[in-house]
C-alpha cells in the first residue's frame, strides 16, 4: 500500500491548504481597513510611533470601501491615495491573501461584512484589532467563535470597541479572571450621547448639537446608530459577554430617541430630518428641569441570583446628585458591581469618544500583539 493511499494521506489531501507561514526573519505586516475619521487618526499616530522608533508591524496596505492601496513605506501617502480613490459602484472586499500567520488586520470600518470575516482571519493566524463593534458585539455565534479563537494562533484586540480604550473591558475581564461574578454594569457608554446631553440646554436646537458632534467625529458615521441606541446596545453586548453572559441583541430593551421620520429616512436624507428630534427632546428636557433632574442616556444590565439578565438602553431623568451626572464632555462613566464591589461599585470614567483616543486604543492593541507569543493568550 503506497503512503499516498493511506487514510492519513487522504485526510491531508482533503484538508484546506495551510496558509502561508512567515519566515522567521520576516517582520509582521499590517493592513488597515477603513480610512475615515478613525482610520486617518490611526495612520497619523502609527507614523508618530514609527518615527519614535517603536517596534510596529510594517504597513502592507490600506483599504476602504472603494479599493485597496499598497504601501511603499510612506503610510500617510498610502492613506492619501486611498482617501482620494473615486467612488465605485461595486468594489470587492479587501484582498488579504498575501498575508501570513502573525500579520495584523486593523478594522476601522463599521461594516458587518468585514466583521463577519473576523473569525476566519483569526483561524488563519491573522491577529485582528478592531474599532468595529460588529465582531464581538454582533450576533452571539460570531462573538463566541471569536472568543474560542482568541489566543490560539492569533489575538483579538477589542480595546477600542467600548469606551474608546478606557479600561472598562479590561476591568470586567480582570474581575472575572479573579473569580468575581459581575452582578451589574450601568453607565454612560456613549461619548457622543454624553456630550450631547451635557451640552443640550433646552433652548438651542438639539439637532444643531447633533450636527456639531458629527462634525467633531464623536458620533457614529450615521448618528442614528447613537440616537437609536444601537451603539450603546452593542457595547452592552460586548461587556456582558466579557462578563460571561451570553446576551443577544433581542435581549436588550431599547428606548430609541428616533422619531419614525428619521428612523426610516434614506441615508442621504438624515441631515434634513434631524429637526424631527427638536420638539420631543425639548419637552423631555423641560420636564426634567421642572423635576430638578438631568437627562442622561444610560445603558445597563444586571443579573439576578438565578442568572437571568435584564438589559436596557434609554434616556433617563436623573437627580443632579446621581453619580452618572458627574463627568462632562465626551466622558464615559460606568459603574461595575461584582462580588468584591457590591455596596460601592467600581466606577471608571474618562473620555470615551473621538478619533484620537480610539486610534490610540487600536495602536495599544497592536503593540501588545507585537510582544505576544502563541500560547500566552
Ligand atoms: N469615531 C469614534 O469616536 C469612534 C470611537 C470608537 C469606535 N468607533 C468605530 O470606529 C469605526 C470607524 O468609525 P469612523 O468614525 O472612522 O467611520 P467613517 O469615518 O465612516 O469611516 C469608515 C471607513 O470604513 C470604510 N469601509 C466601509 N465598508 C468597508 C469595506 N467593506 N471594506 C473596507 N473599508 C470599508 C469606509 O470606506 P469609504 O471611505 O470608501 O466610504 C470608510 O473609510 C466604526 O465601527 C465606529 O463605530 C468610532
SS3 for the chain, per residue? CCHHHCHHHHHHHHCCCCCCCCCCCCCCEEEEECCCHHHHHHHHHHHHHHHCCCCCCEEEEEEECCEEEECCCCHHHHHHHHHCCCCCCCCCCCCCCCCCCCCEEEECCCCHHHHCCHHHHHHCCCEEEECCCCCCCCCHHHHHHHHHHECCCECEECHHHCHHHCCHHHHHHHHHHCCCCEEEEEEECCHHHHHHHHHCCCCCCHHHHHHHHHHCCCCCCCCHHHHCCHHHHHHHHHHHHHCCCCCCHHHEEECCCCCHHHHCCCHHHHHHHHHHHHHHHHHHHHHHHHCCEEEEEEEEEEECCCCCEEEEEEEEEEECCCHHHCCCCCEEEEEEEECCCCCCCEEEEEECCCHHHHHHHHHHHHHHHHCCCCCCC
Give residue 263 CA to ligand 1 midpoint distance, Å: 21
- In tens digits, the chain (377 residues) has pLDDT values of 233 333 333 333 333 344 455 655 567 999 999 999 999 999 999 999 999 999 999 999 999 999 999 999 999 999 999 999 998 766 678 999 999 999 999 999 999 999 999 999 999 999 999 999 999 999 999 999 999 999 999 999 999 999 998 999 999 999 999 999 999 999 999 999 999 999 999 999 999 999 999 998 888 878 999 999 999 999 999 999 999 999 999 999 999 999 999 999 999 999 999 999 999 999 999 999 999 999 999 999 999 989 899 999 999 999 998 888 887 888 999 999 999 999 999 999 999 888 999 999 999 999 999 887 666 66
- CA atoms within a 13 Å half-sphere pointing along the CA-CB vector of 114: 26
Q: In the prediction, which pLDDT does 186 show?
A: 96
Q: In the prediction, which pLDDT does 18 show?
A: 40
**What cell was used for 171?**
476591568
Residue 158 Cβ inside 6 Å of ligand 1? The answer reads: no
Residue 131 Cβ inside 6 Å of ligand 1? The answer reads: yes
Nearest residue to 124 via CA among 14, 16, 12: 16
Q: In the prediction, which pLDDT does 377 show?
A: 60
Nearest residue to 132 via CA among 150, 157, 151: 157
Question: For strand 293-303 and strand 252-254, is the pairing parallel, antiparallel, or unpaired?
Answer: unpaired
Nearest residue to 228 via CA among 185, 186, 268, 273: 273
Q: In the prediction, which pLDDT does 8 show?
A: 35
Give residue 186 CA to ligand 1 midpoint distance, Å: 27
Residue 228 Cβ inside 6 Å of ligand 1? The answer reads: no
CA distance 124 to 119: 9
Nearest CA to ligand 1 atom 30: 65
CA distance 46 to 358: 13
Residue 39 Cβ inside 6 Å of ligand 1? The answer reads: yes
User: Which residue(s) pair with 315 in the sheet?
Assistant: 297
Scan for cell 451589574, then name that residue.
184
Give residue 321 CA to ligand 1 midpoint distance, Å: 37
Ligand 1 site-directed mutation target among 31, 33, 36, 165, most atoms within 8 Å of CB: 36
235 is catalytic: yes
Residue 155 Cβ inside 6 Å of ligand 1? The answer reads: no
**What cell was used for 121?**
482571519
Q: In the prediction, which pLDDT does 373 show?
A: 65
Q: In the prediction, which pLDDT does 81 show?
A: 97
**What cell was used for 283?**
419637552
CA distance 136 to 145: 9
**What cell was used for 38?**
478613525
Residue 355 Cβ inside 6 Å of ligand 1? The answer reads: yes
Give residue 197 CA to ligand 1 midpoint distance, Å: 24
Question: For strand 127-130 and strand 156-157, is the pairing parallel, antiparallel, or unpaired?
Answer: parallel
Residue 351 Cβ inside 6 Å of ligand 1? The answer reads: no
Give residue 301 CA to ligand 1 midpoint distance, Å: 27
Q: In the prediction, which pLDDT does 187 show?
A: 95
Amino acid at each position: 500500500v503506497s503512503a499516498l493511499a493511506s487514510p492519513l494521506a487522504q485526510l491531508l489531501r482533503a484538508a484546506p491548504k495551510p496558509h502561508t507561514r512567515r519566515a522567521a526573519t520576516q517582520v509582521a505586516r499590517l493592513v488597515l481597513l477603513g480610512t475615515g475619521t478613525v482610520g486617518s487618526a490611526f495612520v497619523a499616530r502609527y507614523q508618530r510611533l514609527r518615527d519614535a522608533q517603536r517596534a510596529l508591524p510594517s504597513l502592507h496596505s490600506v483599504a476602504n470601501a472603494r479599493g485597496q492601496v499598497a504601501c511603499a513605506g510612506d503610510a500617510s501617502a498610502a492613506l492619501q491615495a486611498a482617501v482620494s480613490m473615486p467612488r465605485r459602484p461595486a468594489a470587492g472586499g479587501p484582498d488579504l491573501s498575501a498575508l501570513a500567520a502573525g500579520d495584523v488586520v486593523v478594522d476601522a470600518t463599521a461594516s458587518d461584512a468585514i466583521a463577519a470575516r473576523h473569525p476566519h482571519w483569526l483561524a488563519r493566524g491573522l491577529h485582528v484589532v478592531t474599532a468595529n463593534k460588529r465582531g464581538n458585539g454582533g450576533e452571539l455565534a460570531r462573538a463566541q467563535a471569536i472568543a474560542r479563537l482568541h489566543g490560539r494562533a492569533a489575538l483579538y484586540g477589542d480595546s477600542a470597541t467600548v469606551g474608546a480604550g478606557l479600561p472598562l473591558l479590561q476591568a470586567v475581564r480582570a474581575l472575572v479572571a479573579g473569580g468575581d461574578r459581575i452582578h451589574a454594569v450601568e453607565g454612560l457608554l456613549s461619548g457622543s450621547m454624553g456630550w450631547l446631553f451635557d451640552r443640550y440646554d433646552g433652548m438651542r436646537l438639539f439637532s444643531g448639537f447633533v450636527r456639531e458632534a458629527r462634525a467633531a467625529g464623536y458620533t457614529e458615521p450615521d448618528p442614528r446608530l447613537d440616537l437609536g441606541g444601537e451603539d450603546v446596545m452593542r457595547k452592552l453586548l460586548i461587556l456582558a459577554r466579557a462578563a460571561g453572559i451570553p446576551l443577544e441583541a433581542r435581549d436588550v430593551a431599547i428606548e430609541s430617541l428616533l422619531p419614525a421620520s428619521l428612523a426610516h429616512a434614506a441615508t442621504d436624507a438624515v441631515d434634513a430630518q434631524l429637526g424631527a428630534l427638536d420638539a420631543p427632546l425639548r419637552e423631555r428636557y423641560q420636564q426634567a428641569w421642572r423635576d430638578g433632574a438631568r437627562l442622561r442616556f444610560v445603558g445597563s444590565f444586571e443579573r439576578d441570583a438565578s442568572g437571568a439578565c435584564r438589559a436596557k438602553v434609554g434616556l433617563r431623568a436623573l437627580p443632579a446628585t446621581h453619580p452618572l451626572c458627574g463627568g462632562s464632555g465626551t466622558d464615559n462613566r460606568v459603574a461595575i458591581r461584582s462580588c468584591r464591589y457590591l455596596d460601592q461599585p467600581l466606577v471608571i470614567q474618562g473620555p470615551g469618544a473621538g478619533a484620537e483616543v480610539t486610534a490610540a486604543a487600536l495602536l495599544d492593541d497592536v503593540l501588545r500583539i507585537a510582544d505576544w507569543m502563541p500560547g500566552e493568550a
